[in-house]
Amino acid sequence: MSQLIQLAANGQASIVADTWTRVVPPAAGEESVRKQAGKVVLFKLTGEQTYTAEQIANTEIPATGKILVPLTIWQARKAELQSRLPTGELGIILATNETAEALQAEFADLNSLPLIAVFVERFADGRIFTLGNWLRTRFGFKNELRAIGDVLRDQLFFHKRAGFDSFLIRADRSAEDALASLNDFSQPYQGGVADVPVWRRISRA
Amino acid sequence: MYKYDPIDQQIVNERVAQYRDQTRRYLAGELTDEEYRPLRLQNGLYIQRHAPMLRIAVPYGLISSKQLRKLGDITKQYDRGYGHFSTRQNLQLNWPKLEDTPDILAELATVEMHAIQTSGNCIRNITTDQFAGIAPDEIIDPRAVAEIMRQWSTFHPEFALLPRKFKIAVSGTEKDRAIVQAHDIGLEFYKDDQGQMAIKVWVGGGLGRTPILGTVIREHLEWQHVLSYCEAVIRVYNIHGRRDNAYKARIKILVKALGIEEFKRQVEEEWAHFKDGPLTITQNELDRVAKYFEPMPYKDLPAHDASFDAAVASNPAFAAWVKRCVQPHRVPGYRAVTLSLKPHGKAPGDITSEQMHVVADLADAYSFGELRSSHEQNLILADVQLSDLFTVWQKAHAAGLATPNIGLLTDIICCPGGDFCSLANAKSIPIAEAIQMQFDNLDYLHEIGDLELNISGCMNACGHHHVGHIGILGVDKDGSEWYQVTVGGKQGNDASIGSVIGPSFSAEEMPGVVQRLIEVYVRERQDEERFIDTVRRLGVAPFKAHVYAEKETA
């Protein structure tokens, strides 16, 4: 069963087969858990390196098919990936600690990418919503925008309103169950990426 | 006050259904503790020492008699017959059962109430001056914009999971009563030189572990842009605020780290992208909401009332209450009445189910059926006729709601503390009660005069201890409870953070410590000086000397 939920242009959500292969770097040599003020560091800070040089070098990239590649891998191994771009076989993964500007620096026309995925390591990392908003509004990205990682049904409604139109539900949870949450609220107050505030949407007089 | 239309009602109803299902999944083991945590928190539900604690939103402190009766019934049916008004104008239940919380929310929804975003790392209930709309020194009534902002912030898709909680206060008076400088965003409304409603925006204030007063990020903001500007501020924070350390995650830390100039530059740059977009509030929408906050249908009354004057002259107890608990009103012949939730020896801010019904009846009979809660944890009847004050006093007195101590030493701001809260390092309510009993002499209290004493059971500072003239902070030293004392804090336009006087004290010592601080004040005060004025004139030294000298010889 696929874990991928996709919104059609008419807003209809359905579970679809995932035609993309996600390129995942090998695990880091040793798990580094840093402590700060007695607390385990939970999130990478903005701009912090996502993968080590060793991980990047050892990442296996499938030779054919549509591949979804972390931005840092693309940056380091552009030469061998370049040819996949014109054929529509390259999608990029942006982590929540990376910036939309860094992506823009690589792809002057973001719409040359058929797919951008934003990876959220922990569902409580709300940067994913601002990144979604920025990619859609500021950077004018029109193709598929996918939430991946710790993506759970109770955040889905927010993801949708922040501009995402596909959602890869975490592997141990049911995508079927998650579908319902996309309709949790029928008339939200504020605007979203594709929506205006309720007082511009309907007459409340 | 604001009344729900079908859109508002549908949102709270859908929220109840959503939360009911989330709670069902949690109880069925389909959601982990970690996954359920932000969901329940954004519905005001904490897991606490004895039981969950449920925090019910009272938007900008405005509540109707019907709502208060419902709260009275809820506290009776689902709790132990009382509730606790918090320093953010909300009402907390200390003993609900987790399984009951969906039903409680369903009950609340029937009276246009909810517990949305009363906790969690999101935009919290917006607070304001308890005298909004009636204060003589008010320039702009900020409640219509506060309601528009409440709606905008409710389930905001982008700001649902911020680095940390986010508190906004609004105020439109000459004398600030909403501590706008101690909030993540403080909005100070005023009339600009064109006579238009404008806003001075403060950012990066907050108490807690690192108390910092806010900085002005924008002197003049047109009201139409308040949503877009706040959105720009919070967006910059959402992306750049620290998420690696909960103690350094508030916006104040980001503002300090970047410096206000750089932070402002980023905000303005962000804002420029969408400033004039759909978030621009239309006159139409402002008018739609503002009509709910129009002045009450006041009678044309003379400025004086003979029966009232006679009662004040002949009844010293009534006169004492009038002096402390009756506040001025902009309409002649009307006054605001503060019902003290600080009777001596009881937990500050607590109110029983029966008292809620009494207060609701008072509001219906004498104050247009509406009430306000204050961040000082009292309830206010905002629109009482002079000629009704005596009757209101008698009824409030009979219900234990007329302690004439508003603004006095025993009107203590106090968090639930270690008795209830699992974050607390120390108990706070027993300290408040002991101090109240130490000063259980109304003549002496009146003679000491205006004094704000605030107690927090931990450095999260829910009891606003940093801005108390006397502040008491519960600290943990090797597993036992101690209390650190500050003096010289103040809320208002000239807000300040108090200074620690020295090593901390045991619980038993606290009433005596406060007593000695008061002794220094009484000895040193000049003319009409209040406690805070004396502290500001003399500094901490004489207070410190007396407190610790006594301690050594004791």
Give CA–CA dist B213/B203, Å, rounded.
Answer: 9
List of residues 6+ apart from A177 with CB closer than 8 A: A153
State whether residue A130 sits within 8 Å of chain B by CB.
Answer: yes
Given this model, what pLDDT does residue B420 score?
87
DSSP secondary structure letter of residue B208: T
- The three-state secondary structure class of B455 is strand
Given this model, what pLDDT does residue A33 score?
53
Q: Which tokens go with B215?
A: 């900085």
Domain shared by B158 and B280, yes or no: yes
Q: Kind of pairing, strands B470-477 and B480-487?
A: antiparallel
pLDDT at residue A38 greater than cutoff 50: no
The Cα of B176 is separated from the nearest Cα of chain A by a number of Å equal to 29
Domain shared by B55 and B196, yes or no: no
ipTM of model: 0.95
Chain position carrying tokens 């208060």: B68
Residue B125 maps to a domain: no
Mean pLDDT of A184-194: 95
> Who wins on pLDDT, B207 or A78?
A78
Residue B268 maps to a domain: yes
Give CA–CA dist B114/B92, Å, rounded.
Answer: 12
Query: Which chain A residues are closer than 8 Å to B247 by Cβ?
Result: 37, 39
Domain shared by B104 and B163, yes or no: no
Query: Which chain B residues are closer than 8 Å to A123 by Cβ?
Result: 35, 161
Inspect the interface and report whether the beta carbons of B154 and A190 lie closer than 8 Å. yes
Number of structural domains (chain B) is 4
* DSSP line for B427-446: --HHHHHHHHHHT--HHHHH
pLDDT of A127-140, one tens digit each?
Answer: 999 999 999 999 99
Give CA–CA dist B397/B393, Å, rounded.
Answer: 6
Q: Which tokens go with B418?
A: 């270690």
Q: Where are the beta strands (DSSP E) in B13-70?
A: 45-47, 52-56, 62-64
CA B271 to chain centre: 30
Give CA–CA dist B290/B189, Å, rounded.
Answer: 15
Integer angstrom CA distances of residue B369 from B18, B66, B323? 32, 8, 24
Q: Which tokens go with A43?
A: 């999130």
State chain A's mean pLDDT as an integer. Answer: 92
C-alpha angle A172-A177-A178 in degrees, rounded to nearest 5:
80
Give CA–CA dist B181/B164, Å, rounded.
Answer: 18
Give CA–CA dist B118/B126, Å, rounded.
Answer: 10
Domain shared by B62 and B188, yes or no: no
Give CA–CA dist B494/A152, Å, rounded.
Answer: 46
pLDDT at residue B552 greater than cutoff 70: no
Give CA–CA dist A170/A154, Å, rounded.
Answer: 12
Phi-psi region of B453 (alpha: psi -120 to 50; beta: other; left: phi over 0): beta
Which domain does B368 fall in, by range? Answer: 306-398
pLDDT at residue B51 greater than cutoff 80: no
Domain shared by B53 and B187, yes or no: no
Helical spans, DSSP H, in B120-259: 143-153, 226-240, 251-258
Pick the residue from chain A with its C-alpha nearest to B283.
A199
Domain shared by B271 and B377, yes or no: no
Q: Quick one: pLDDT band at residue A37, thresholds 50, 70, 90?
A: very low
Q: Quick one: pLDDT band at residue B409, thresholds 50, 70, 90?
A: very high
Inspect the interface and report whether the beta carbons of B285 and A199 lie closer than 8 Å. yes
Domain shared by B148 and B285, yes or no: yes
Given this model, what pLDDT does residue B28 score?
95
Q: Which tokens go with A181?
A: 């949450």
* The last residue of a domain, from among B264, B290, B316: B290
- The three-state secondary structure class of B218 is strand
- Break chain A down into helix, strand, coil percent, rounded to 5: 30, 20, 50
Q: Quick one: pLDDT band at residue A47, thresholds 50, 70, 90?
A: confident
Residue B296 maps to a domain: no
State chain B's mean pLDDT as an integer. Answer: 95
pLDDT at residue B8 greater than cutoff 80: yes
Domain shared by B471 and B502, yes or no: yes
Domain shared by B90 and B141, yes or no: no
CATH (one of 3.40.50.10140, 3.20.20.70, 3.40.140.10, 3.40.50.2300) for A4-8+61-201? 3.20.20.70
Mean pLDDT of A179-205: 94
List of residues 6+ apart from B401 with CB closer than 8 A: B339, B340, B341, B343, B355, B358, B359, B379
Q: Could you tell me how many CB contacts below 8 A there are between chain A and chain B?
A: 126
Mean pLDDT of B193-215: 94
Give CA–CA dist B387/A55, Å, rounded.
Answer: 80
Give CA–CA dist B136/B139, Å, rounded.
Answer: 9
pLDDT at residue B293 greater than cutoff 90: yes
Q: Quick one: pLDDT band at residue A1, thresholds 50, 70, 90?
A: confident
* The last residue of a domain, from among B398, B433, B448: B398
pLDDT of B309-323, one tens digit each?
Answer: 999 999 999 999 999
Torsion of Cα atoms, A150 then A155 then A160 then A161, to 10°:
-130
pLDDT at residue A32 greater than cutoff 70: no
Give B408's Cβ-side CA count (13 Å radius).
Answer: 29
The Cα of A45 is separated from the nearest Cα of chain B by a number of Å equal to 7
Q: Where are the beta strands (DSSP E) in B243-342?
A: 326-327, 334-339
Phi-psi region of B340 (alpha: psi -120 to 50; beta: other; left: phi over 0): beta
* The last residue of a domain, from among B257, B290, B323: B290
Q: How many CB atoms lie within 10 A of CB B513?
A: 23
Chain position carrying tokens 């695990």: A27
C-alpha angle B497-B498-B500 in degrees, rounded to nearest 5:
135
For chain B, state the CA radius of gyration.
23
Pick the residue from chain B with its C-alpha nearest to A128.
B158
Phi-psi region of B345 (alpha: psi -120 to 50; beta: other; left: phi over 0): left
Q: How many CB atoms lie within 10 A of CB A17?
A: 8
DSSP secondary structure letter of residue A20: P
Q: Quick one: pLDDT band at residue B550, thresholds 50, 70, 90?
A: low
Q: Quick one: pLDDT band at residue B553, thresholds 50, 70, 90?
A: low
Give CA–CA dist B193/B195, Å, rounded.
Answer: 5
Query: Which chain A residues are closer than 8 Å to B273 by Cβ?
Result: 137-138
Pick the residue from chain A with its C-alpha nearest to B291.
A205
C-alpha angle B281-B371-B156 in degrees, rounded to nearest 5:
35
A 24-83 → B contacts, CB under 8 A: 36-37, 39, 41-46
Inspect the interface and report whether the beta carbons of A41 and B285 lie closer than 8 Å. no
Domain boundaries, chain A: 4-8+61-201
Phi-psi region of B231 (alpha: psi -120 to 50; beta: other; left: phi over 0): alpha
Given this model, what pLDDT does residue B247 score?
87
